[in-house]
Amino acid sequence: MTHVWTAIKKVPFFRGLRDTEIMQVIKIAHSRRYKKNDIIFRKEDLGNSFFIVKDGKVKIFTSLGGDKKKTFAFLNRGDFFGEMSLLGGKVRSASAMAAEDTELYVISKRNFAKLIAGNHQFTLKLLHTLADRLTRADNEIASMLFHNIRGRLAEAILELTKKSHATPTKVAIDQSELAQYLGTTRVPVCRAINIFKREGTIDYRRGEIIILNHAKLKSMAGNIQ
Ligand code: CMP
């Protein structure tokens, strides 16, 4: 039990929650494993569970027709998802896929409602994250309206590397994933990457973006007021 407890405490979602509150969550969750590329649920499915990433990476995305895809977020250890349909939307607002081998805590809709009613820290965490996601979505709308592809790419790189602890800062992502994250096609993304490389702002090798000039990237991303 001790090593299970130690593992649980490493999941960032549970930081700041008291032991009794963590126990409340764990008691009603079961864990489920997914292989890389497994679909967890699809947009428009009826929402019946809430998920916390125990390990791995989840991609939240939508697709239009066969080929147009937009990635909304990559979620890592400690992030949660699946709350929106349970809070009101009824059906899933986006699809979720395991971006690598992944393990999730799964909580039923009924137990999720009980947690919201009975666990204040859990509810606060939920509200904070929803506010962060809304801010990010607002920024992305502004960025799509006011920025060119280079500004948007700069912003995307900063967002994707936000949680990186490596020096220099880096993130593994291939060009088609990056294009989906920006809601565009590979060609303009490839061109923008090459410009950033020539300027010495980033390096891009073997599917990995390495930030070489953070200040330059920030000024490219700009501040939308
Ligand atoms: P739900 O609508 O139940 O299913 C899809 C989930 O994706 C949604 O709940 C949120 O948890 C998550 N989601 C949707 N949009 C975003 C976003 N922009 N950033 C992070 N997560 C999101």
Whether residue 49 has its Cβ less than 6 Å from ligand 1:
no
Note the pLDDT tens digit of each residue in 90-131. Answer: 999 999 999 999 999 999 999 999 888 888 888 998 999 999
Q: How far is the CA of 115 from the centre of ligand 1 (A)?
A: 19
Give me the chain's average pLDDT, please. 89
DSSP letter at 47? P
Where is pLDDT greater, at 86 or 25? 86
Note the pLDDT tens digit of each residue in 168-197. Answer: 889 999 999 999 999 888 999 999 999 999
- Flag whether pLDDT at 4 surpasses 80: no
**From 93, 140, 180, mutation site for ligand 1 pocket: most ligand atoms within 8 A of C-beta:** 93
Q: How far is the CA of 150 from the centre of ligand 1 (A)?
A: 26
Cα distance between residue 193 and residue 22, in whole Å: 43
Whether residue 59 has its Cβ less than 6 Å from ligand 1:
no
What's this model's pTM, rounded to 2 decimal places? 0.86
Q: How confident is the model at residue 225 (pLDDT cuts 50, 70, 90)?
A: very low
Task: Quote the pLDDT of residue 135.
Answer: 93
**Residue recorded with tokens 């090593």:** 3
Q: How far is the CA of 75 from the centre of ligand 1 (A)?
A: 10
Following DSSP, what letter does each residue of 27-50 receive, concatenated? HTEEEEEE-TT-EEE-TTSBP-EE
